[in-house]
Amino acid sequence: IEIIQEENYLEKASKLGEYFKKKLEQLQEDHKIIGDVRGQGMMLGVELVRDRATKEPAIQEMLQVMEFCREMGLLIGKGGLDNNVMRLQPPLELTNEQLDESYSILDEALSKVEKNL
């Protein structure tokens, strides 16, 4: 607990998480496959859907996004009842520039997957 307080990890998680969540919300505006962005601090989720109105889970597309991200050097997790939610839990030591790089990789992966929809 002392290290968490001394290193100010809670404030770092809050600031970095807010920055990254805004970037992910921008992705949601740009990509119809993103149905929701949620989370707190540096524990964020991005739900992939085939249709925003029906919220039909984009299960196969999630697997494709994961693979494209992996090929470009970004490891993401998946979760949710239908395994269609990207789990993003980057370390607190990341810089805004590194988060921007992650954003770019996600953007490219989502674009590749959406071309096939």
* CATH code of 10's domain: 3.90.1150.10
CA–CA gap between residue 82 and residue 11 (Å, rounded): 32
Reported pTM: 0.91
- Look at residue 18 in the predicted model and tell me its pLDDT: 95
Question: What average pLDDT score do residues 72-91 get?
Answer: 96
> Are 57 and 82 contacting, i.e. CB atoms less than 8 angstroms apart?
yes
Q: Would you place residue 40 in the very low, low, confident or very high pLDDT band (cuts 50, 70, 90)?
A: very high
Quote the number of domains for the chain: 1
- Does residue 39 contact residue 79 with C-beta atoms inside 8 Å? no
Residue 59 structural domain: 2-115
- The pLDDT value recorded for residue 89 is 94
